[in-house]
Structure 1
Amino acid sequence: MFTTFGNRGTMHLGLCLRVLILVALTVPIRAAQPAQETFTLTVPNGPTSTLSGSSVSLLCQVSPLFNVEPLEVRWYHSSNIHSPALLYKDHKIQETPVVPRYRGRVSLTGGMERGNVSLTLERVTLEDRGEYVCQVSSEQWYEKASVFLTVNVTGREPVLSVAEARGGGGGQVNVTCSSEGWSPQPKLTWRNKDGAEIRNEQEVLNTSDPQGLVSVSSWLLYACSYSDWLACTVSLSEEAKREGRILPHIYTAPTAVPGVYKEALIVTLILSLVIICALCSVILCKRRGSMWSSSQKSRNRSDQAELGQRPADQTELGKGPAETEHLIKGAENTVQTPTEQRAAGEEFNLEGAENTVQTPTEQRAAGKDVHLKGAENTVQTPTEQRAAGEELNLNDWHHVKIFKVNILLDEKNAHPAIRINKGKRAHYVKEKDTEKPSRTHLHVFSEERFSSGQHYWEVKVKDGTTEKLSWYVGVARENVDKRPAVPLTPQNGFWILSYDKEQGFHVNTDPQPPITVAKLTIVGVFLDCDRHTLSFYNVDTKSLLYTFTDVKTSNYFPLLSPGRCDKIPIKIN
């Protein structure tokens, strides 16, 4: 019996050992995976958007995937490269040196053992928008990539108003729509009561306040109506939009009905007839006085002799009847109105009784020797009014192309990897082995520099059917910092329009507004030094792409880049 028990014990012990060995073989063993010698970072192609006050994740992943816990991870805003928003080092997040406004709001998303180094930012504010750099470093290698964050702020309800259309004609009115407090730049859309979008005869103006919030305004000429309303919608997306509506007629008060309008028109016509009759009576009296003064010429000469005046013939002096009457000081002179006395004292020549009745504006112009060329002048639209006030209509490509200038590229001021042909054509050649392609800016400046006036030039960015990988055009201020680590931003003196095959068209603002272009062969660049604006145009469609409104510096240098690793040329037209 003892022997049986011993055999059974041995059998149980062997079975337990086999089970333990099987469990040990099936349970995964987490081994310390060595860091890769080289790696790259993967980030989103386009900007990451979020609402103000919410949380957002800025995605960043190492490739190939491996455990990055032993490495250093650094996130920083491009405007402050020396102070990070988050620093992971020695297997933990460091408290210093971190920008104070990010403390308590940033963390790593998790999954570092799988190569995920994404940043989570909580309670997002408008100040947080812009370019963020994700940098991962090992002892042998480091890499970094940029993620753009846009913060969406929904603005106020649109405010609409109606005014008399000056120059619209045909019963049209000028309808205005404005809204404040948006980020980034919103889209403004006019629609009629049927929901159809109205595209013609409208203008849109965008301005930014010191906090970076955008205000948008638009003007629209529309047929006056008492029943067909107009809708103005300002939106960032379908979820973030505001709408206002208005009836496009001038009298919006409750008493402003068609009958009241007709009564006011009748009263105005009666008053106009009374004024015209009174003025005709004055003109007729003046003509009779002129005839009477001619028949008494000898008597007038006698009166002048008694006053010590030398007789003067009207024809010799070249004076009209009104001026002769002003010299005659007898009691027979006709009585003049104050307007006629001021005109005579200012040597204003009333040329006959057939002069048309003047408005107060025309009277002031006459007192200032301003010649009004007829009453048939048309009333100006808002665009024409700003143009008359020496403000160019930037939406009209034909209005700015007349300022075209000749631009030559300066080969002495070009990146070593750029070759210049005849001062007009630029193309990329292979860079030196000592240069790091991902760490340098590749462009060439022009020989010309501008400090005042208006200047327009064109850059051909596509030749035939061959598409370039990348390029950018724009202007830079004098003595810009040319170090490779300096971002190409307006704060650093660069204002550019860029194209990248992966990201499409964009300008280097913060945030970046969407720019949709179906076809682009030639870029038009218009620089207004006096008004500090820089505009880009699609010459193919003769349309405005984007306008920088705060381009302030003493000297401007045009610049362009033919792109990197792309030997297709780019040239000045």
Structure 2
Amino acid sequence: MFTTFGNRGTMHLGLCLRVLILVALTVPIRAAQPAQETFTLTVPNGPTSTLSGSSVSLLCQVSPLFNVEPLEVRWYHSSNIHSPALLYKDHKIQETPVVPRYRGRVSLTGGMERGNVSLTLERVTLEDRGEYVCQVSSEQWYEKASVFLTVNVTGREPVLSVAEARGGGGGQVNVTCSSEGWSPQPKLTWRNKDGAEIRNEQEVLNTSDPQGLVSVSSWLLYACSYSDWLACTVSLSEEAKREGRILPHIYTAPTAVPGVYKEALIVTLILSLVIICALCSVILCKRRGSMWSSSQKSRNRSDQAELGQRPADQTELGKGPAETEHLIKGAENTVQTPTEQRAAGKDVHLKGSENTVQTPTEQRAAGKDVHLEGAENTVQTPTEQRAAGEELNLNDWHHVKIFKVNILLDEKNAHPAIRINKGKRAHYVKEKDTEKPSRTHLHVFSEERFSSGQHYWEVKVKDGTTEKLSWYVGVARENVDKRPAVPLTPQNGFWILSYDKEQGFHVNTDPQPPITVAKLTIVGVFLDCDRHTLSFYNVDTKSLLYTFTDVKTSNYFPLLSPGRCDKIPIKIN
């Protein structure tokens, strides 16, 4: 039995040794396995999409799977076959000959030992879009496949406008929506206030600029409405879309009734001309009467002096015959004052008159050019500057502060949660639970409205060391829609500078430009109605913060907000 067990143990031991040897021999054989004689490449069926500025992987896989590190991998754009975007050869990525704009932006990150030769492209630009070719080569075989890359660029917020429809019949208006800067071609959708898509009677036009960005515009006929919103959405996807809204109606003055308005205008012009002519006649008659009276008095004095006549009021003055004779004898030597000589029509020549200095008013009346000492340092009024054709430098706070005007806040036109003190100071009060404000945007308008000229005012937004949570200042056009759903955007008639403790300073444009402010106590606001600009200034540093360049409307109302749930006031300086 011992012998049998020993033989069996020897047999088992030999079997184990043979298995171990087989395993040891198999592993190096597989590692040294040569490349497949033939293979194929697997790539995505559809295009690969990414956003401009992001990173993207263009997938490419060898099949069957094997280690492709000894092989050559080449990626190139279909428009440039001879210059690759990436070249892998001799177990490393080659620096040349590759397209310079891809250097430092491409890599193979899939795992070549597992047959993955996917290309990763970083900081994608619009120029990178198009067809890319993945090519893998061995000494016996090569294969290639194409991957299509699309680069998505989200364009600007749609701009909407309303115009009279041709023919003017049927109570319809022509509504236009346009947006630019998209890639690829976006989808434009019209919707009514209920969110239902409008498909009838609309046209869409797409155009491309030299950079390949697409501009889209559409217009449709729509029933004129004073209360129903019309929305225009331009999108590439649910995540990349822009929307604008508008009320499809044209504002007209209440008295603008055909025929009546025209007749009223003509009557008003005629009455104005009649009143002006009457006033001019009265003023001219008064001036002529005054000149005739002065001339007559001067002539009488001159005659009396030359003839030696006794003044009519001599007796009343108590002068005797001797005094009268003395006056008559000396009459030929009587010297008139310069004023009397001028009234008598005589030329005045005073001794030393060549050294006499006339006042600026007398010099202008004489038709002379006025040159005052130090005149080159004289500060002209804003009106004189504009009349002289001088342009304002909006970057210079000193140029615009001279237009400062007095602003009063209109308490009757304020949000229910705002309290106004003496027309200058505004602060937030806690809203009642039962109170339902007419609008969620918490601000107050001014009593003043501007339609022309230049106007500057200041708003103190910080008092001492206490920091506010939020506020905004700016202007709004007349008759803006005040419903809660209306966003505060330039398209809806609001141009504002805002502050929020979480977001910092920003203006209500899309996209929002960065505004860096270290310290701000007083905001200066300058409105140029004639040039349609609105500028904001940091009065502490006397520097320009931001300028809106297309602020167009008929009437402008200054507005401000002390912020919601923030009881620290702001005030007009």
Q: TM-score, normalised by structure 1?
A: 0.42
What SS class does the counterpart of residue 485 from structure 2 fall into?
coil
- Taking CA–CA contacts closer than 8 Å with sequence separation of 6 or more, which of the two structures ends up with the larger relative contact order? 1
Contact 2:255 2:261 in 1 (8 A): no
Q: Take 1:89 and 1:189, find their aligned partners in 2: how far apart are those partners? A: 50
Q: Take 1:457 and 1:531, find their aligned partners in 2: how far apart are those partners? A: 17
Change (3 A) 1:261 1:2: farther
What SS class does the counterpart of residue 123 from structure 2 fall into?
coil
| 1:289 and 2:289 aligned | yes
Q: Take 1:432 and 1:273, find their aligned partners in 2: how far apart are those partners? A: 56
Q: Bigger shift: 257-266 or 298-307?
A: 298-307
Change (3 A) 1:82 1:178: same
What SS class does the counterpart of residue 70 from structure 1 fall into?
coil
Q: Bigger shift: 494-503 or 407-416?
A: 407-416
Contact 2:157 2:510 in 1 (8 A): no
Report deviation, 1:234. 0.3
Q: Bigger shift: 370-379 or 175-184?
A: 370-379
Contact 1:45 1:502 in 2 (8 A): no
Report deviation, 1:499. 54
Q: Bigger shift: 129-138 or 396-405?
A: 396-405
Report deviation, 1:61. 1.3
Report deviation, 1:474. 55
Contact 1:387 1:393 in 2 (8 A): no
Change (3 A) 1:271 1:488: closer
Report deviation, 1:89. 0.6
Q: Take 1:87 and 1:12, find their aligned partners in 2: how far apart are those partners? A: 54
Report deviation, 1:441. 63
Report deviation, 1:64. 2.1
C-alpha deviations, 1:327-384, integer Å up to 9, x for none?
A: 9999999999999999999999999999999999999999999999999999999999
C-alpha deviations, 1:381-417, integer Å up to 9, x for none?
A: 9999999999999999999999999999999999999
Q: Take 1:327 and 1:204, find their aligned partners in 2: how far apart are those partners? A: 102
Report deviation, 1:40. 1.8
Q: Bigger shift: 162-171 or 237-246?
A: 162-171
Report deviation, 1:210. 0.9
Contact 1:290 1:321 in 2 (8 A): no
Change (3 A) 1:487 1:43: farther
Change (3 A) 1:367 1:447: closer
Contact 1:204 1:216 in 2 (8 A): yes
Change (3 A) 1:231 1:42: same
Contact 2:470 2:498 in 1 (8 A): yes
Q: Which residue of 2 aligns with 1:107?
A: 107
Report deviation, 1:144. 1.2
Change (3 A) 1:533 1:501: same
Q: Which residue of 2 aligns with 1:42?
A: 42
What SS class does the counterpart of residue 364 from structure 1 fall into?
helix
Contact 2:295 2:343 in 1 (8 A): no
Change (3 A) 1:534 1:61: farther
Q: Take 2:567 and 2:61, find their aligned partners in 1: how far apart are those partners? A: 31
Q: Take 1:214 and 1:399, find their aligned partners in 2: how far apart are those partners? A: 41
Contact 1:165 1:221 in 2 (8 A): yes
Q: Take 1:478 and 1:414, find their aligned partners in 2: how far apart are those partners? A: 15
Contact 1:456 1:527 in 2 (8 A): yes
Change (3 A) 1:463 1:289: closer
Q: Bigger shift: 498-507 or 414-423?
A: 414-423
Q: Which residue of 2 aligns with 1:120?
A: 120
Larger Rg: 2
What SS class does the counterpart of residue 385 from structure 1 fall into?
helix
Change (3 A) 1:237 1:13: same
Q: Which residue of 1 aligns with 2:80?
A: 80
Report deviation, 1:97. 0.5
Change (3 A) 1:268 1:408: closer
Q: Bigger shift: 322-331 or 231-240?
A: 322-331
Q: Bigger shift: 316-325 or 544-553?
A: 316-325
Change (3 A) 1:201 1:324: farther
Change (3 A) 1:126 1:36: same
Q: Which residue of 1 aligns with 2:201?
A: 201
Q: Bigger shift: 86-95 or 160-169?
A: 160-169
Contact 1:323 1:344 in 2 (8 A): no
Report deviation, 1:167. 3.8
Report deviation, 1:68. 1.4
Contact 1:362 1:372 in 2 (8 A): no
Q: Bigger shift: 256-265 or 167-176?
A: 256-265
C-alpha deviations, 1:53-112, integer Å up to 9, x for none?
A: 111000111222222111111000111111000001111111110111101110112321
C-alpha deviations, 1:255-311, integer Å up to 9, x for none?
A: 999999999999999999999999999999999999999999999999999999999
Q: Take 1:39 and 1:268, find their aligned partners in 2: how far apart are those partners? A: 92
Change (3 A) 1:392 1:269: closer
Q: Bigger shift: 220-229 or 323-332?
A: 323-332
Contact 1:286 1:334 in 2 (8 A): no
C-alpha deviations, 1:106-161, integer Å up to 9, x for none?
A: 01123212221110001101110011111111112212111110000000100000
| 1:556 and 2:556 aligned | yes
Q: Bigger shift: 212-221 or 26-35?
A: 26-35
Contact 1:166 1:380 in 2 (8 A): no
What SS class does the counterpart of residue 298 from structure 1 fall into?
helix
Q: Take 1:153 and 1:342, find their aligned partners in 2: how far apart are those partners? A: 82
Change (3 A) 1:23 1:45: closer
Contact 1:177 1:218 in 2 (8 A): yes
Report deviation, 1:25. 9.1
Q: TM-score, normalised by structure 2?
A: 0.42
Q: Bigger shift: 110-119 or 406-415?
A: 406-415
Change (3 A) 1:565 1:103: farther
Report deviation, 1:476. 55
Q: Bigger shift: 389-398 or 221-230?
A: 389-398
Contact 2:66 2:113 in 1 (8 A): yes
Contact 2:363 2:370 in 1 (8 A): no
Report deviation, 1:516. 47
Contact 1:56 1:120 in 2 (8 A): yes
Q: Bigger shift: 53-62 or 479-488?
A: 479-488
Q: Bigger shift: 12-21 or 478-487?
A: 478-487
What SS class does the counterpart of residue 564 from structure 2 fall into?
coil
Contact 1:393 1:399 in 2 (8 A): yes
Q: Bigger shift: 31-40 or 70-79?
A: 31-40
Contact 1:322 1:344 in 2 (8 A): no
Q: Take 2:315 and 2:562, find their aligned partners in 1: how far apart are those partners? A: 75
Report deviation, 1:180. 0.8
Give the unaligned 5+ runs of structure 1: none
Q: Take 1:485 and 1:451, find their aligned partners in 2: how far apart are those partners? A: 27
Change (3 A) 1:386 1:482: same
What SS class does the counterpart of residue 439 from structure 1 fall into?
coil
Contact 2:129 2:151 in 1 (8 A): yes
Contact 2:207 2:215 in 1 (8 A): yes
Contact 1:445 1:559 in 2 (8 A): yes
Change (3 A) 1:219 1:484: closer
What SS class does the counterpart of residue 271 from structure 1 fall into?
helix
Q: Take 2:36 and 2:319, find their aligned partners in 1: how far apart are those partners? A: 100
Q: Bigger shift: 147-156 or 276-285?
A: 276-285
Q: Bigger shift: 134-143 or 260-269?
A: 260-269
Q: Bigger shift: 480-489 or 320-329?
A: 320-329
What SS class does the counterpart of residue 149 from structure 1 fall into?
strand
**Structure 1 residue ranges, 4+ long, deviating more than 4 angstroms after superposition:** 1-30, 252-573
Change (3 A) 1:557 1:364: closer
What SS class does the counterpart of residue 8 from structure 1 fall into?
helix
C-alpha deviations, 1:497-547, integer Å up to 9, x for none?
A: 999999999999999999999999999999999999999999999999999
Change (3 A) 1:225 1:309: farther
Percent identity reads 99
Q: Take 1:186 and 1:556, find their aligned partners in 2: how far apart are those partners? A: 35
Q: Bigger shift: 301-310 or 107-116?
A: 301-310
Change (3 A) 1:10 1:264: farther
Q: Bigger shift: 531-540 or 5-14?
A: 531-540
Q: Take 1:34 and 1:238, find their aligned partners in 2: how far apart are those partners? A: 49
Contact 2:246 2:492 in 1 (8 A): no
Q: Take 2:195 and 2:324, find their aligned partners in 1: how far apart are those partners? A: 68
What SS class does the counterpart of residue 133 from structure 1 fall into?
strand
Report deviation, 1:16. 13
